[in-house]
Amino acid sequence: MAIANSDLEIIKPRTDKREYRRILLPNSLQVLLISDPETDKTAASMSVSVGSFSDPEGLEGLAHFLEHMLFYASEKYPLEDSYSKYITEHGGSTNAFTASEQTNYYFDVNANSFDEALDRFAQFFIKPLMSADATTREIKAVDSENQKNLLSDGWRMSQLQKHLSATTHPYHKFSTGNWDTLEVRPKENGLDTRERLIKFYEENYSANLMHLVVYGKRSLDELQGLVSHKFQEIPNADRSCFQCPGQPCMPEHLQILVKAVPVKQDHRLRVTWPITPSIRHYKESPCRYLGHLIGHEGEGSLFYILKKLGWATSLSAGEGDWTYEFSFFKVTIDLTDAGHDHMEDIVGLLFKYILLLQQSGVQKWIFDELSAISETVFHYQDKIPSIDYVVNISSNMQIYPPIDWLVASSLPSKFNPSTIQMILDELSPENVRIFWESQNFEGHTDMVEPWYGTAYTIEKIASSMIQQWIGKAPNEQLHLPVPNVFIPTDLSLKAVPNKAKFPVLLRKSPCSRLWFKPDTMFSTPKAYVRIDFICPYTSHSPEAVVLTEIFTRLLMDYLNEYAYDAQVAGLYYAINHADSGFQVIVVGYNHKLRILVDTVLEKIAEFKVKSDRFNVIKETVTKEYHNMKFQQPYQQAMYYCSLILADHSWPWTEELEVLPHLEADDLVKFSPLLLSKAFLDCYVAGNMEPSEAESMVLHIEDLFFKGLKPLSRALLPSEHLTNRIVKLERGIRHFYQCEVLNKADENSALVHYIQVHQDDVMLNVRLQLFALVAKQPAFHQLRSVEQLGYITVLMQRNDSGIRGLQFIIQSTVKDPGQIDMRVDVFLKDFESKFYELSDEEFRNNVNALIDMKLEKHKNLREESAFYWREIADGTLKFDRRDAEVAALKNLTKQDLANFFDEHIKVNASQRKTLSIQVYGSVHSSEYKAAKSETPRPQSCRIDDILSFKNSQPLYGSFKGGLGHVKL
């Protein structure tokens, strides 16, 4: 019988209506039950206190491999993949991750399918089947996952930091595993990987090392009965938790300067110190305090000075890679070319700022300010998807006492200057490790990290040398931040007399239109403001596109010192380049939101080009363009697909070509032109009154469209921009073939796109239902059985209201042409299974899709994104979900079969396909052969994207001029 601890207090947000109960099952499994009668999605997460640190010697990646294997089958549910199939067909999703000291398994599912989903999930930990056949296949999947990461600088630099630590410490290990560590080496050493896998499971997966969170609609008593019944059979071998042997860095791993060659064209400094883990003092939050100050971006901060000098483009500071036994404090600085030449000065300035903190002493007012902000964030936090919520909490359960399972370390509440001072003292020159990344080091290294092949070299740096750097660093006025004026003090909710279900057009003029949606769902003191500047001059040439990008970056750059405090206080803003101009988004507590909105808009109105900042932003943008060739091959394939389909888009190569020739004077001339013609599409939602929203938009109109010399004039109907999509020819198989941009990348990729229709309720639901029915079978066949690649996805696609289906597969084992054929074979094989779908299976899938559509938005951002998509596409179907639910209720199995026969079935007369094939370096010979082949009948090879687009008809746009908008 489970022991309930319903009396035990668990700190929860004041606004949280959910009920919580901690129980302990007889097998020592700790469980947190969450009852939320309002939820649409139920969820569960199991955190097992066993991770990659527990990998046996010579079997690197075994814990991660085990995570993969548990998804296959169990003694109670022996049909391979039946767990994932059940979850998908009932509107849910499932995944897992392996960390250093835990492995976390989780799922969500529609509420009425929770019981069986939970039962299937429980079998992971009771009696999984790890067949020999599945074992061999899944090692390939782990290897494919590793292949995906080999050219990622994040993975490479993380492993390099681990590599340069004590070989006897588990931190040193390679954690993900690959074909070599799980197949080749074990065989060479006479080890049977499957036997060791089963042994590892039996020795480590004990109920007393597990923490379960279950999130459901039912009462706590009902959930307790459900969990007790399903999870009590998990064996308890009474294992001890893995004990990490202290710090991984010995004296020889400290006071080092490591120069490493990254894949991308970036310069980056990572300055790290091993420190006392702040988890031991989590209520005192020493790293939160120090990270807040060292990572601050306001006037007088380290970043402010580095930016003023033109040496850095971003800076972050805080704790990372921590356990209860060891931790690192990290400062990461992205450098400009000039910053790269001043590395010593930058490190000197960093230590100068640390010295300033030492001299200033630990300030209570700063801690109190952080504490107040954290308190507000915790008590007025947005609801997040239940699947994310359960993962967060189950991970916390391993670390914190039950009272703080929801809070974790998010509420600094105990001011203890000596604890903060202790960590500050550890940020010393004697304790430092500096990792300096740049392609400039190519050819000047003498070592290679074994798992990812990163070239590097090590130099010892004495603390006396760092003292010299401090001495010669620029004498800039570093100082502590001033009190934050953006902290909200009025958190009251405004009355909503009109309970509008959908956005309403509150105001319309030749210059703008304002959509308004009061908060009728979330009861939080937050608002969302979005203003789209539709400017025809933004996209009339590659130069215009690049200059608009630099314009938006410069605006963010100019606002940074002022608005950084707003972001710290929970008020976020962004100015983004968009296809039709640029957009301003401000979201967060509504109390001081208007101040920030007005400042952002005034900064746009009075925009001036500072040539020194222009040059820094131009350099950053240039590197980003050059680094596009290092995108994953599947991302490159998706880019080509979008380029082919979108009527008016410039290739990034042309934008890169014009970039070197652009100077500050070009932007001086362009920015007034950009703003000279504009229309403002505005959306305001949340804890705001209609009069406040109208007042905001009237002020913006006054700024841009009024006065003796207005900055902007309203657009004429013909000047409104539209996004139109290429209409592929029926019965033709279009294909585009190219080589991967990074010749070192072995991965190939395929996007197999099937274009179906322009937005239409009946066709939408048929497409959505087919995607739901086929998603898991496609994944199982192409990924689990055929092992084509770790990235294997079947998903819907929506381009400005044009709907379709796409298979996305990345692989080293087969070239894209072969993968394309495997997709066709899958669809042919799937035909018979699809036609044999029983009435019950059909109805289950329909009901699952209906439940997904009826799922309520979790928070204001999610709701706003949904309605904004309707405004941006011009479809304005705010009641889309209701209409599609009604259509689904009338859908028949024959309707779905007819849809498949007409649009999806291989060789269907109405089928419109586009196959994007990106060939990796291991398939270069196959690429040459494919390019020399004569296209098959009813096929169209695209050799020149621009010529192809110019020869194709287009779908009509939902967006017309202002006068044509349907309301």
Helix (H) or strand (E) holding 258, with range, is strand 256-260
Residue in the structure block whose two tokens are 């064209």: 265
Cα distance between residue 809 and residue 804, in whole Å: 17
Helix (H) or strand (E) holding 447, with range, is strand 447-448
SS3 648: coil
Vertex 189: Cα angle to 183 and 191 (nearest 5): 60
> Strand 512-518 relative to strand 677-686: parallel, antiparallel, unpaired?
parallel
Helix (H) or strand (E) holding 269, with range, is strand 267-275
Cα distance between residue 695 and residue 503, in whole Å: 18
> Strand 581-589 relative to strand 733-739: parallel, antiparallel, unpaired?
unpaired
What DSSP assignment string belongs to 294-324?
Answer: HT--STTSHHHHHHHTT-EEEEEEEEES--S
Cα distance between residue 139 and residue 612, in whole Å: 52
Q: What's the full length of the chain, in residues?
A: 967
Helix (H) or strand (E) holding 851, with range, is helix 839-853
Cβ proximity of 47 and 104 under 8 Å:
yes
Query: Which of 795, 781, 727 is closest to 755 using CA atoms?
Result: 727
| Ramachandran angles phi, psi of 746, nearest 5° | -80, -20
Query: Would you state the structure tokens that stand for residue 215, as one six-digit string?
Result: 């999130």
Residue in the structure block whose two tokens are 């017309």: 960
Question: How many C-beta atoms surround the C-beta of residue 75 within 10 A?
Answer: 10
Question: How many C-beta atoms surround the C-beta of residue 364 within 10 A?
Answer: 11
Rg, Å, the chain Cα set: 29
Residue in the structure block whose two tokens are 């804890």: 687
Helix (H) or strand (E) holding 933, with range, is none
Cα distance between residue 491 and residue 14, in whole Å: 13
Cα dihedral: 557, 562, 566, 572 (round 10): -20
Catalytic positions, written as ranges: 67, 138
Cα distance between residue 576 and residue 586, in whole Å: 12
First-to-final CA distance of the chain = 60
Half-sphere exposure of 932 (CA within 13 A, CB side): 6
Alpha helices by DSSP H, 398-541: 417-426, 463-472
Question: How many C-beta atoms surround the C-beta of residue 472 within 10 A?
Answer: 10
State how far Cα 653 lies from the chain centre: 26
Residue in the structure block whose two tokens are 């070319």: 337
Cα distance between residue 65 and residue 141, in whole Å: 9
Cα dihedral: 653, 654, 660, 661 (round 10): 170
What DSSP assignment string belongs to 758-802?
Answer: ES-HHHHHHHHHHHHHHHHHHHIIIIIIS---S-EEEEEEEETTE
Cα distance between residue 752 and residue 816, in whole Å: 10
Cα distance between residue 879 and residue 854, in whole Å: 11
960: exposed, middle or buried (C-beta count within 10 Å: 0-12, 13-18, 19+)?
Answer: middle
| Ramachandran angles phi, psi of 385, nearest 5° | -50, 140
Cβ proximity of 403 and 32 under 8 Å:
no
